[in-house]
Amino acid sequence: MTDRKFYKRTITVEFLSESPIPDMGLGKLVEEGISGDYSMNVTSYKTDELDGKQAADALLDHASDPSFFQLTKEGKDVNE
């Protein structure tokens, strides 16, 4: 496995509105929270350090690919 470290940042954001909030992208939600019709509050921040295997698994969970970080599915460097 690679010796490199990777980081996962999780931010929890709450939105309040007077009507149901439709499905929309995060960018649009934040825009509405900053200057639109929603109230927005960041309630928590969390950073996790990941090893190569955890990073590869997280990329797959994101519908991405471990090669995004030059990793194999096992968390090894592609060039190993």
- Domain-located, residue 80: no
Question: What's the whole-model pTM score?
Answer: 0.81
Q: What is the CA radius of gyration of the chain?
A: 17
- Domain-located, residue 74: no
- Domain-located, residue 52: yes
Per-position pLDDT tens, the chain of length 80: 999 999 999 999 999 999 999 999 999 999 999 999 999 999 999 999 999 999 999 999 999 999 999 999 999 999 87
Count of structural domains, the chain: 1
Task: Collapse the DSSP code of 74 into the 3-class scheme (helix H, G, I; strand E, B; otherwise coil) and give the result.
Answer: coil
pLDDT of res. 80: 75
Residues 6 or more apart whose CB falls under 8 angstroms from that of 4 comprise 52, 69, 77
Question: Which residues is 39 bridged to in the sheet?
Answer: 16
Tokens of 3: 């010796």
- Domain-located, residue 78: no
Which residues span the domain enclosing 25? 6-69
- Closest by CA to 17, choosing from 32, 27, 1, 28, is 32
